[in-house]
Amino acid sequence: MNYWLIKSEPGTYSWSDLERDKKTLWDGVRNYQARNNLKAMQVGDLCLYYHSVNEKQVVGVAKVVKEHYPDPTAKDGDWVVVDVAPEQKLKNPVNLAQVKGEERLSEMVLVRNSRLSVQPVRKEEFDIILEMSQ
């Protein structure tokens, strides 16, 4: 199993929207590195769900339920989506300042390249975020 972090602006598509919809396709990615990360996702992989822009915090865990397929919103290019479903809402959100303040997360992609919308997460980092949310 692999672990990821996926970002969405809460005003565009929030954790509450995902819970309401039960499943969604993760569309609109137009960065090659993020696209390649989508292509690497497998059914059962877990994703930290991050509210970007104003909130800047991990709010839940989603699960990949369908592997990559062509992005129906793309007019051209080799863009893909995956389907994700809510797995669990975090008891307490973990904000970016907390992540940056945790020495064990100093190498996390979120700390080093915070703009990447779909990024890999090491199992240890995933577990630390869940621990911090308790």
Q: How confident is the model at residue 81 (pLDDT cuts 50, 70, 90)?
A: very high
pLDDT at 98 over 90: yes
10-43 per-position pLDDT tens digit: 999 999 999 999 999 999 999 999 999 999 999 9
Per CATH, the number for 3-132 is 3.10.590.10
Q: What is the pLDDT of residues 104-115, one digit of tens each?
A: 999 999 999 888
Percent of the chain topping pLDDT 90: 96
Other beta carbons less than 10 A from residue 5's beta carbon? 23
Q: Where exactly are the structural domains of the chain?
A: 3-132
Predicted structure pTM score: 0.96
- As a whole number, mean pLDDT of residues 49-78 equals 96
